[in-house]
Amino acid sequence: MRPLHHQKGYREASRIDRIKRMGEPLLSIRDVVKRYRDTVALDGVSFDVEAGELFGLLGPNGAGKTTLLSIVSCLLEATSGEARILGQPATPRDRNLRRSIGIVPQELAVYGELNARENLNFFGSLYGIQGEELHQRVDQVLGAIGLADRANDRVDRFSGGMKRRLNLGAALIHRPKLLLLDEPTTGVDPQSRNHIFEEVRRLAADGVGVVYTSHYIEEVQALCSRVGIIDHGRLIACDTLPALLARMGGVIRFRVPDETPGLRQRLGEIPGVELNGQEGTTLEMECRDVKSALMRLIALLNEMKVELVSLETNEPNLERVFLHLTGHALRD
């Protein structure tokens, strides 16, 4: 069976939507604030997501990601500011707008006592889809999430990964234009994770805007073209992945056998390199371009006839960006 987003009707609908919007972002969030009594859950968050874009939202537990997704999915009213989807304000009162949104909650929001087909039938019927159309869509989604052969099995007999895939499928049955995924791969096996990634990429390729929240940095890095970092309710960075990574240099850490007079001075003369510190005979330097700095380092050590005992390089990555921006690791 062809994946859902290769279906002709689906692609055309997405394309028409893009034309209709004429450059307006699919999702626009402006200065959104959410307060619960004395607690500020969101503090002036702003960003846009375009149709077909994979936007990653990174943040530790309690950072405000789920609250933000609840506002975007019309479940919660912002205290101030505004979220707009397809140009319409996203408020709990606008039930029609919800037809454009698909949410994949953090929880396995499917019914264990029902089988996969019954689950999809039910969630489809909530959007007014019925009869042959519902039957076809359910078959399409089951194929897309790789559960066609388990369609009539009770969900509580599924593995965690299969349940996660069904959790995604339940959000796709009504063909949303904006897909909100809240930690969609928690506790899944690599095979199911890849399946979910593939499907999310296909959706984006077909024009669906995707907001992907996770505290797995490697997932966001592998999947998303643009990333927002949220901490304590504030969006502290929001940029394309290369731009975020460019904020951080790489690190080269090496050890030499003995103290070598003049080595620190010569290392400091390498362009684009900053010496961080020294512990015994281990030195660490931060550099914008790890590869070129590494070649110069090796050339210098040869020239000074200094033996290299060990060497470790760290390319810039989101984890270090996050640490740099927030002062703590994501899973602290």
Distance CA 17, CA 19 (A): 5
178 exposed, middle or buried (CB, 10 Å; 0-12, 13-18, 19+)? buried
Q: Could you tell me the smallest distance in angstroms from the CB atom of residue 318 to other proteins?
A: 26
What single DSSP character describes residue 248?
S
Contact with other proteins (CB under 8 A): which of 73, 185, 214, 326?
A: 73
Find the helix packing angle between 116-125 and 160-172, rounded to 10°: 30
Q: Could you tell me the smallest distance in angstroms from the CB atom of residue 243 to other proteins?
A: 32
Q: Does position 160 bind other proteins by CB under 8 A? A: no
Q: Does position 265 bind other proteins by CB under 8 A? A: no
Q: Could you tell me the smallest distance in angstroms from the CB atom of residue 105 to other proteins?
A: 4
**∠ CA(219), CA(223), CA(229), 5° rounding?**
65
Site map (CB under 8 A) of other proteins, residues 3-42, x = contact? ---------------------------------x----x-
Site map (CB under 8 A) of other proteins, residues 115-154, x = contact? ---x---xx-xxxx-x------------------------
Q: Does position 290 bind other proteins by CB under 8 A? A: no
How many residues bind other proteins (CB under 8 A)? The answer is: 35
Is 96 or 310 the residue whose CB approaches other proteins more closely?
A: 96
Contact with other proteins (CB under 8 A): which of 14, 70, 140, 214?
A: 70
Distance CA 91, CA 139 (A): 32
Other beta carbons within 10 Å of 30: 15
Q: Could you tell me the smallest distance in angstroms from the CB atom of residue 169 to other proteins?
A: 12
What single DSSP character describes residue 60?
-
Q: Does position 110 bind other proteins by CB under 8 A? A: yes
Q: Does position 113 bind other proteins by CB under 8 A? A: yes
Contacts of 244 (CB under 8 A, 6+ apart): 227, 229, 237, 318, 321
Q: Of 165, 108, 122, 162, whose CA–CA distance to 141 is shortest?
A: 165
Query: Could you give phi then psi for residue 315, rounded to 5 degrees?
Result: -70, 155
CB 179 within 8 A of CB 208: yes
Contact with other proteins (CB under 8 A): which of 170, 211, 217, 235?
A: 170
Q: Could you tell me the smallest distance in angstroms from the CB atom of residue 244 to other proteins?
A: 28
226-231 and 234-240 beta bridge pairing: antiparallel
Contact with other proteins (CB under 8 A): which of 105, 161, 233, 316?
A: 105
Q: Does position 325 bind other proteins by CB under 8 A? A: no
Positions 82 through 101 that interact with other proteins (CB under 8 A): 92, 95-96, 98-99, 101
Query: Could you give phi then psi for residue 205, rounded to 5 degrees?
Result: -65, -25
Query: In the complex, which residues of this chain contact other proteins (CB under 8 A)?
Result: 36, 41, 66-67, 70, 73-76, 92, 95-96, 98-99, 101, 103, 105-114, 118, 122-123, 125-128, 130, 170
